[in-house]
């Protein structure tokens, strides 16, 4: 399993929020490339970039994304946040993203998801953001009334790169992961699982690895120093 530092973008900066709440920002790095350099120095080579402003329809951080993806050859970036059109998927891949993360429209419009997955096979990651067991959309602000397992069943035939499952109720709280949720996802889907939300300790990462996750996105615990980046990189980068 691979540990993947998160680079969440807001107003051109790299930030960390608790539970996705704009009112509860705990970390801010003015230049996202500085965050990238910090994690590269420890040996990480895969990164998860999210445009929080685009996800909520409050703007765009495309310049910051462009700078991150152009910084150093050979790195792997998944990029998401407000990607709701085929043209946007294509443009993000053209910038150099290894994969594109689609959430709200993917959950709400299966025919569109099938179209982009088939047009860009192995390049599309579906973000299933979960509160309890309900999938939520639009920057975690709206419920879908759909259980995560039901959603996953519809995705099985598609040529996806994987699933990014975020336990929203754990996000940014540094209280551990929702392991039963991630285990249920692995049982329900053949697609590679990238887990997010609540990773706090090395043991959390090991537990996700035992559960069959292909990767784990880490945010708050890395940025606050709760997790030792060097030790994590040695075992999981």
CA distance linking residue 119 with residue 37, whole number of Å = 33
Query: Has 8 been annotated as catalytic?
Result: yes
| Catalytic-role residue among 8, 51, 53, 204 | 8
Length of the chain: 237
CA distance linking residue 81 with residue 93, whole number of Å = 14
Q: How far, CA to CA in Å, does 49 sit from each of 54, 67, 92, 149?
A: 12, 12, 11, 25
Give the angle subtended at the CA of 231 by the CAs of 34 and 79, to the nearest 5°.
45
| Catalytic-role residue among 53, 129, 178, 204 | 129
Relative orientation angle of helices 86-95 and 62-70, to the nearest 10 degrees: 40
76 contact partners, CB below 8 Å, separation of at least 6: 45, 46, 47, 98
- Let me know: does 137 contact 109? Beta carbons within 8 Å: no
- Let me know: does 113 contact 106? Beta carbons within 8 Å: yes
- Closest Cα to residue 164, out of 68, 85, 23, 46? 46
* 25-29 and 46-51 strand pairing: unpaired
CA 109 from centroid of its chain's CA atoms: 20
What amino acid positions are annotated as catalytic residues?
Answer: 8, 129
């Amino acid at each position: 399993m691979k540990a993947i530092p998160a680079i969440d973008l807001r107003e051109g900066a790299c930030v960390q929020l608790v539970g996705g709440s704009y009112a509860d920002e705990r970390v801010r790095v003015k230049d996202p490339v500085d965050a990238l350099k910090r994690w590269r120095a420890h040996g990480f080579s895969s990164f998860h970039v999210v445009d929080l402003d685009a996800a909520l329809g409050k703007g765009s951080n495309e310049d910051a994304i462009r700078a991150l993806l152009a910084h150093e050859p050979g790195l792997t970036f998944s990029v998401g946040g407000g990607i709701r059109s085929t043209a946007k998927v294509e443009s993000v891949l053209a910038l150099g993203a290894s994969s594109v993360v689609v959430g709200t429209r993917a959950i709400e419009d299966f025919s569109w998801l099938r179209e982009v997955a088939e047009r860009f096979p192995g390049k599309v990651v579906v973000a299933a953001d979960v509160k309890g067991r309900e999938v939520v959309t639009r920057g975690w602000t709206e419920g879908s009334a759909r259980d995560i397992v039901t959603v996953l069943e519809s995705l099985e035939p598609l040529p996806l790169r994987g699933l990014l499952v975020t336990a929203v109720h754990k996000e940014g709280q540094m209280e551990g992961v929702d392991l039963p949720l991630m285990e249920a996802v692995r049982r329900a889907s053949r697609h590679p699982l990238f887990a997010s939300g609540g990773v706090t300790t090395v043991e959390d990462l090991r537990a996700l690895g035992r559960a069959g996750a292909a990767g784990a996105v880490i945010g708050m615990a890395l940025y606050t120093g709760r997790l030792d980046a060097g030790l994590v990189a040695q075992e999981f980068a």
